[in-house]
Amino acid sequence: MLNYIWLALIVIGISVAFFGDVHDISTNRYHNGEEFPGSIDFRGAVIPFLEKSTKYTCYLSATSEHLGTRQPFESNREYVLKAELVPNPAGGGILHIFADESFPAQWREIMNGQGSSEYLTATVRWDSIDHRGIILPVRFRFDPAKFLRLNSVVNDGVVKSAKTAVELCIGLIGIMALWLGIMRIAEQSGLMAKIACALKPVMRRLFPDVPPEHPAMGAMIMNISANMLGLSNAATPFGLKAMEELNKLNAKAGTATDAMCTFLVINTSNVQLVPTTVIAIRAAAGSANPAEILGPVLVATFVSLVVGVTTAKLLAKLPIYRRQIEKMNNKL
């Protein structure tokens, strides 16, 4: 079921991005094909002529009314952006406009669409060259920007997330195998059984409606013990078995009892003695000391368990829930 939910979210995201791009193209949001006037300032450098394929550091100047963006700007404000000019043999040249704090947001979108995080590439042309090389009036335009949202969702979202997931899973295999092996040794050596024996007195108080020798009690104890040791795979069958056995004690099968709700809370917020999965993820991510979270995790899970169980017990005593239980029992 969860896979279908993820698939639906991906389809919705791609669809929204696609129709957003169609709207941008129809309204020409990125001013495709338009040229903007400006000037290139070489900051006093005397350049007799512009050599082909040579990079020249310069500054592009343009006023707010000519920037070709719908972002609100101060009236008649002049923007000066550092750039790099590369003349080409066919005339004109390529201009790399470096992004800074004053960079228009719409230009930043086009820059990301071009696959760059540092500069925006534009084609520039001029009618004549000022041979003193001081200020050069130009007109510049960007390559057509289309389907930027869709490319961002597919490339930056879906593809990168899938790549990260694969790298993370491969990195987790070794460390997970190690910890699960250690926990398996602990299980075979009888450590889980000892934890289960220590939990019996506590379980009797938490679940007074469940007979001590009932199979549900044993399944719940084994589930909690496995979760405490980080054996989530081993805990799942015990959890399903516990719910099945608790349902046999239910006066109305299919309706959650106090014992079921309490067990679900404990299963969700169980104390973690060895957080195997978190340690493995930290190790795969390159943590210098992946096991240093043992103390904080133990405290956090203990607090969450106490809060969860307390809340479940208090809610179970509310009159509205007690009346519902009495009505169910009367119907039976």
8 A C-beta contact, residue 92 and residue 128? no
Cross-strand partners of 119: 98
Residue in 141, 81, 143, 85 with CA at minimum distance from that of residue 115: 143
Residue in 309, 313, 281 with CA at minimum distance from that of residue 297: 281
pLDDT at position 74 is: 47
**pLDDT per position as a tens digit, 177-187:** 665 566 567 66
pLDDT at position 146 is: 79
Give the mean model confidence (pLDDT) for residues 83-96: 82
pLDDT of residue 226 exceeding 60: yes
Q: Please, which pLDDT band fits residue 332 given cuts at 50, 70 and 90? A: very low
Q: Could you give the angle at the alpha carbon of 123 between the alpha carbons of 121 and 126, nearest 5°?
A: 140
Q: Please, which pLDDT band fits residue 72 given cuts at 50, 70 and 90? A: very low
Contacts of 194 (CB under 8 A, 6+ apart): none
DSSP letter (8 states) at residue 152: I
pLDDT at position 67 is: 60
Give the mean model confidence (pLDDT) for residues 154-171: 67
Cα 71 to Cα 301: distance, rounded to the nearest angstrom? 48
DSSP letter (8 states) at residue 56: E
133's torsion region: left (phi>0), alpha (psi -120 to 50) or beta?
left
CA distances from 322 to 24, 50, 162, 319 (A): 58, 88, 48, 5
Distance of CA 71 to the CA centre of its chain: 28
Distance of CA 126 to the CA centre of its chain: 46
**pLDDT per position as a tens digit, 99-147:** 888 787 778 888 877 778 888 888 888 876 655 556 678 888 888 877 7
- Model pTM score: 0.47
Whats the size of the chain, residue-wise?
A: 332
8 A C-beta contact, residue 33 and residue 144? yes
Cα 86 to Cα 124: distance, rounded to the nearest angstrom? 10
pLDDT of residue 231 exceeding 50: yes
pLDDT at position 272 is: 79
Q: Give the chain's mean pLDDT.
A: 76
